[in-house]
Structure formats: C-alpha cells, structure tokens
A and B are shown apart, each in its own frame.
Chain A
Amino acid sequence: MKKRFDFSTLARSKVTWAVVAEALILLVCLFVRPDFFKISYQPTTGMLYGNLIDIVNRSSEITIIAMGMTLVIALGGTDLSVGALVAVSGAIALKFLRWDVTIYNTPGDYTVYPFILVLFVPLIVCTLMGLFNGFLIAKGDIQPIIATLILMVCGRGIAQILTNGKQFTTQYSPFRVIGQGSLFFLPMPIIITAVVIALVVLFVRKTAFGTFVEAVGINRKASRLSGINAQMIIFIVFALTGFLSGISGLIYSSRIMSNDSNNAGLNFEMDAILAVVIGGTSMTGGKFSLLGTVLGSIIIRTIVTLVYYFGIASEATMAFKAVIIAVVIVLQSEPVRNYFAKRGKAKAMLANGGMRG
C-alpha cells in the first residue's frame, strides 16, 4: 500500500524547515541575482565552477566535523575541541612536510617525510585526542563541555609548539590534491565529504550503533541497565569526532598549503554545533538527523557565500548572519511547526469532507 502524503508529520519535522529555510534563502538570491546559480566548466582546473559548487565545497570542513558533532550532541554532550584539533592536524601535516625549516628553507614540491606519515599521523593524533576527551567523559564522568574545553584551550598551544609558532608553507603537489584537486569534475573536498557522510550513515544506521547512541543520550543509566556499554559508545563517538576533525584539518591546510595554528578551525566548534542544531537535532540529546546536519552546514555556508557575493559591508556581516540564523531557528521552533502542522491537518480534513467523528 502506498503511504499517503502526510503534511502534518512533514511540518512537524525540523529537517523540513531546514529545507524550507535553505530554499527561501536561495529564492531571494534568484530574485536579486539570477546569475548566482550559474555553473560552468572551468577547463584550466577541470572542475565545475559556480557559487553552488563553492557552497558545497567550502562547507566540507564543517560538514565532516558536524557528522561527529551530531553523535556527540545526540549523546547529550558537546565537543568544543574540534576547532583546535583542526589546527593540530594541519600543524602535524606541515611539520612532516617541512620538518626543519632552517634546513629545508624554501617551500617546494617535496616532502621531508613520506607522504603516508603526512596523512596518517595527524589522523591518528586527532583520534587519540578524541579518545582523551572520551576517557575524561566516560571514565572521569566529567561534563563533556568541561572535558573538551581542555583541548580547546591547549590544542592550539600544542599546534604552536609543533611548528615553533611559525607558519610553514609547502608546494608538495600530492598534498595539494586533498583540498584543491578534483575528481568527477568536482572539487576533492566534496568527494571526501560525500564518502565520510556515506560511511558515517552506514555505520550509524545499518548497525545498532545509532540506536545505542540515542538510548545513551536519552538516559545513560537506563541504557546501561538495558545492557548497552555506554562507556564504549562515548569512547567511539568522541574518537570518531577527533578523527573527523583531523580529516577536516587536512582539507583546511591543503587548501592554503600551509598551517595556520592561530586561525585554522577557529570557531569551527560553534559552526558545527549550529549546523547540528539547524539540522534538527536537539541539544538535549536523543534523536538525531545526520542528513539534517549536512543541510545545516550547507545553510551556514550559503549565508557566508551570499555575504561575499552580494558585497555586504564587512561591518554588517555579523548582523546579517545573525538575522538569517534567527529566522531559521524560529521557523524550526515548536510553536511554529505545530501551527503549520495543525493548519495542514485542518486542510486535509476539509478536503476529506469536514470534521468526522
């Protein structure tokens, strides 16, 4: 039997409203500057070229982190250390590429240590840092916001120490591929993000893992009593978030072919949390939506691209972003969703011939 279209459940879903918000933003663009949507082929880079591509491309770093953040928030926590881990990841990668800048003093198409170390050591270190967060939270029973604050504060310091406070640059072409290369006419970060999303969704939804996360997020004690190893779940989720921050850091540093311990990943934790919230996952934990998060991240990046594209004055940028985000959040609020859901129901009833029983 075909499931009947039900407006009321659709209207109650936060994800729907995230879609509506994104559609509204793009609709405004369409009226103001139709050429915003132009996509062309750029023969020199072999990639598609256009604002929509940019939005998805530039949202990659946040989307990847926000996949982990969704699970963290579903557990009822937050991870503030992700931005600092982005800086750590980039610093390690550039450290292996350049090692000692006094010996290898000009950046060029070379790497001092094998490329495999450049790729995997940052990911391993970030995973370990994620595990450290998980350890404090699961074993130490420290609130996530406090536990992850530690690495948020000292992570950048670690990145600074690794690179002696210097900004290394490189021109090593295999490293460039991560952030600036292309595959199937698309920028590489989009491909990497797509793979990450697919793997996380498969892992979470095709196994019982997602259900376990929700159970722990709703009531940790109850979930333990029902036989779920809550500590293990927390370990895995924080380690995964660390690992994903590491990937994000590699993309970030490959885009600029350098490490930037002060600015890499700055405020990423806030953007990632915002993406998760806009995507319809509640900060109180429990149910979560990974695809909603992807959408949330894209909405955030759409706003930034709009600001750039329409040349909104730098002084007004923050206010502009705040207004749009406020509108999105209000659209998703309980009363608004209920209002539309009720109206939908009433209409459906009218269509069925008025009130019955």
Chain B
Amino acid sequence: MKKLLALVLAMVMVMTAVSALADTFKVAFSQIGQESDWRTANTDSIKNDVGGHEGWELIYDDAQQKQENQIKALRNFITQGVDVILFTGVVSTGWEEVLKEVNAEEIPLILVDRMPDCINEIEYAAAFGGDFVEEGRRQTAWAGEYLKAQGRGDEEVNVVIMEGTTGADAQVGRTKGNLAGLEAYPNMKVIAQQSGNFTRAEGQALMESWLKSYDKIDILIAQNDDMALGAIDAIKGAGKVPGKDIIIVGCDSVKAAFDAIVAGEMNATIECTPLYGPFVVDAIEKLQAGETMSKTLLHPEEGVYDMDGGIDLGTVVSVKAADVIDQRQY
C-alpha cells in the first residue's frame, strides 16, 4: 500500500514538473558566434537578462559564424515549439526561406543587431539595431562642439576620417553621418578619408603615413576605437602628443578606449552598445501582454564618453569617461 502511494505521489510530482516545464515561456536566441569583445558582451547581455527573467527559459544557440548552423538552429527552434525567436544573422542574405518557415508557425521573431536583406518580405515583431548614421554624426559633432568649448570655434582645422572596412554597414552609415555632422561646422575641413579596415594595425600604419603626408592634422575621426588606439602609437612615434596636438574621436566605447581617455591620450568615444538585453526583455514583455510594436528599427540608448564630460550634442550630452569606467562591462 505504502509502495503504491509512493508511486502515485512520484507520478504526480513528475506530472507537475512536466506541466511546469510546458508552461515556461521559451525564448530562443540564434547568435552568430564569437567574433569580438563587442559580440561577447552582446551575447552575455541577452543571456543574462532573458535567461534570468522569471518564468522564461532561454534556449541559446551559438552558430560559430556559419549560416548553415543558424538555419539548422532556427528549424530546431520551430520543432521545439518555442514562443519567441531572437535572431542575429551572420550574413545578410539567404534567410528568406527559413524565416518564412518561422512566420508560418506564427512564432514571433525579434531581429537583433543585424537586419536580413529580406526584411520587407518577412513578418517580424520588432527589430533592434545600432544607428550608425547617428553615431557618425555624433563623432564629428563632438569634435565641433569640443573646439567651440575650447574657444577654437572659428579656427580653421584639418580633419582626417579613418573609415572602417569599405562596404560594411558601419562604415557606410558612419561615413554618411561623419560628413552630415560636419555641415554645421564650416571651420572643419576634411583633408583625407581612407579605410583602416577596423583594425589596430592598419589604423596605425595609415596614421603613420598621414602624419607624413599632411603637415597639419588637428582632428582624427576613427570609425572604431581599435583604429584610434592604433593611431595613438603612430602619433607618439611622430613626436606628437595624442589627445592634445591631435584630437582623437573613436567609436564603439570599448574598455581600452576608456583607459586611453582616462590616460589623456584619446578625447572621446561614441557608444555603440552591445547591451541589448533590457530592450529585448521589454519587447518580449510587451508581446506577452499582447501589444504590437512598430516595425521601424529601434535603436538602443547610447552615450558619448570623453575626458571632461558636458559636451551637448543635441540628442545626447557627453559623460566624463573616468566617472563610469568602473561600470563598463566590455
């Protein structure tokens, strides 16, 4: 009799456990894989915020930079019957078929960071991505406002723009923004625009040549922090003082850039945040509540960090890097 009771009890417990599992809200995330510090911070942010949310279960898939792995993962998500799919595509093309399968199962799809080319052909609940044009605009606007704050607003200055990998979304957007931002500052003249391929080594070599080719360079706009960090060494090599003789504005806001700003060797960095977790959680909560969101690309809030803070760029006011360096996660 006791045995039977125990058996019944055990079965009841298993049943409740199973039903509890079925009740959890499953969020699946197909990430492209490891790529950079930025990507790691991006993954961690979503994993922690979504995975740590009460009543939600995160199913994470690392595609190791391969599209076929990602397509497989998406199909697995469908068969597992997940409730929401978060998706960052390793490339921009070739997603239409599998994303339409997701649509056919009516699983809400949230696009994160990278937008597939077929975005207009598919259904999605929300899309989050960086605003490269705005980041580019902030770079040159920061330099212009900084000069004004220094009382150099009317001084004729020469600007060099170190671009990212030619054709990359970030390069195209930031270049557009850089040039648009300059329109408000007629005293700033672009004397060179070249690609440093987003790497430290090439940023360094490019700056080395620029310093020999142009007698007067006042401002360096580097479309990512790595190139700016490479350029700092080249500027030192030419016997100039980075951050003083040449104003350096980077982009991304990686930890090493904060270190350089605090050390006084770099002036500012425009944030391109990988911390999408809170925004994604918010979107999923809205979906659960039955709300619909706008189809336009949503941009996470991003800051500007510099040596002293307080530079007003219209959409954002800069923050002193030294004050927030300890809170930086990547």
Please list the residues of chain A having a beta carbon within 8 angstroms of any beta carbon in chain B: 33, 38, 42-45, 47, 49-51, 54, 58, 106-107, 160, 165-167, 169, 180, 252, 255-258, 260, 262-264, 266, 304-305, 307-315, 317
Asked if B239 CB lies within 8 Å of chain A CBs, one says yes
Set of chain A residues within 8 Å of B39, measured between Cβ atoms:
165
Residues of B contacting A43 in the complex (Cβ-Cβ under 8 angstroms)? 239
Asked if B206 is an interface residue, CB under 8 A from chain A, the answer is: yes
Interface residues contributed by chain B, number (CB under 8 Å): 36
Cross-chain contact of B239 among A45, A260, A312, A314 (Cβ < 8 A):
A45
CB distance from A99 to the nearest CB of B (A): 17
Q: Which residues of A contact B204 (CB under 8 A)?
A: 255-256
Compute how far the CA of A310 lies from the CA of B210 in the bound complex, rounded to whole angstroms: 9
Q: Which residues of B contact A (CB under 8 A)?
A: 34-37, 39-40, 163, 166, 191-195, 197-201, 204-206, 208-210, 212-213, 226, 229-230, 233, 236-239, 256, 259
Contact A311–B194 (Cβ < 8 Å): yes
B194: chain A residues at CB < 8 Å are 307-308, 311-314, 317
Q: How far is the CB of B231 from chain A (nearest CB, A)?
A: 11
Minimal beta-carbon separation of A260 from chain B (angstroms): 6
User: Known pairs A165-B35, A165-B36, A309-B213. 8 more at Cβ < 8 A?
Assistant: A33-B213, A49-B212, A256-B200, A305-B209, A313-B194, A314-B194, A317-B166, A317-B194
Whole-angstrom CA separation of A51 from B193 in the bound complex: 19
Q: Out of B201, B213, B233, which one reaches A308, CB within 8 Å?
A: B213
Q: Binding site of B, secondary structure by majority: helix, strand, loop or mixed?
A: helix
**B195 partner residues in chain A, CB cutoff 8 A:** 314, 317
Task: Tell me the bound Cα distance from A43 to B239 in angstroms.
Answer: 8
Give the most central of B40, B204, B212, B233: most A CB within 10 Å. B212
Whose C-beta in chain A lies nearest to the C-beta of B212?
A: A51
Do residues B166 and A263 form an inter-chain contact, with CB atoms below 8 A?
no
User: Of B34, B209, B236, which is in contact with the most chain A CB atoms at under 10 Å from its CB?
Assistant: B209
User: For B239, what are the chain A residues with a Cβ–Cβ distance below 8 Å?
Assistant: 42-45
Q: Are B163 and A314 in contact (CB under 8 A)?
A: yes
Number of A-B contacts (CB under 8 A): 100
Give the residues in chain A near B212, CB-CB below 8 Å. 38, 49-51, 54, 309
Nearest A-chain residue to B205, judged by Cβ: A58
* Across-interface contacts of A169 in B (CB, < 8 A): 256, 259
Q: A45-B237, A106-B259, A311-B192 are in contact. Are A255 and B210 (CB under 8 A)?
A: no
Among residues of A, the one whose C-beta sits closest to the C-beta of B207 is: A308
A315 touches B35 (CB 8 A): no
Instruction: Give the residues in chain B near A305, CB-CB below 8 Å.
Output: 209
Complex CA distance for A309 and B195, rounded to whole angstroms: 12
Residues of B within 8 Å of A315, CB to CB, are: 166
Cβ of A219 to closest chain B Cβ, rounded Å: 41
A38 proximity list for chain B (CB < 8 A):
212
Taken together as a complex, chains A and B put the C-alpha atoms of A266 and B194 apart, in Å, by 19
B34 in contact with A54 (CB, 8 Å) = no
Interchain Cβ contacts under 8 Å between A and B, 12 examples = A42-B237, A54-B212, A58-B205, A58-B208, A167-B37, A180-B237, A256-B200, A256-B229, A256-B230, A313-B194, A314-B194, A317-B166
Cα(A83)–Cα(B180), bound, Å:
38
B208 contacts A258, C-beta separation under 8 Å: no
Closest-CB distance, A65 to chain B (whole angstroms): 15
**3 nearest interchain CB pairs?**
A308-B209, A314-B195, A256-B200
- The residue of chain B having its C-beta at the shortest distance from the C-beta of A314 within the complex is B195
Complex CA distance for A257 and B198, rounded to whole angstroms: 16
Q: How far is the CA of A262 from the CA of B200 in the complex (A)?
A: 11
| Interface pair A166/B40, CB less than 8 Å apart | yes
- Measured between beta carbons, the chain A residues less than 8 angstroms from B230 are 256
Minimum CB–CB distance from B85 to chain A (whole Å) comes to 24
State the CA gap A21–B128 with chains docked (Å). 51
Contacts of B163 in A (CB 8 A): 314
Q: Hey, which chain B residues are within 8 Å of A106, CB to CB?
A: 259
- Complex Cα gap A51–B209 (Å): 7
Find B37's partner among A44, A54, A58, A166 (CB 8 Å cutoff). Answer: A166
Contacts of A160 in B (CB 8 A): 34
**Nearest CB in chain B: distance from A84 CB, A:** 15
What residues on B are CB-neighbors of A58 within 8 Å? 205, 208
Whether A42 contacts B200 in the complex (CB less than 8 A), given A54-B212, A308-B209, A309-B213, comes out as no
B38's closest neighbor in chain A, by CB? A167
Min CB–CB distance A243 → chain B (angstroms): 21
Q: Are A42 and B197 in contact (CB under 8 A)?
A: no
CA–CA, A58 and B233, complex, Å: 14
Contact status A308-B40, CB under 8 Å: no
Q: Are A263 and B213 in contact (CB under 8 A)?
A: no
Task: Kindly state the separation between the CA atoms of A262 and B256 in the bound complex, as whole angstroms.
Answer: 17
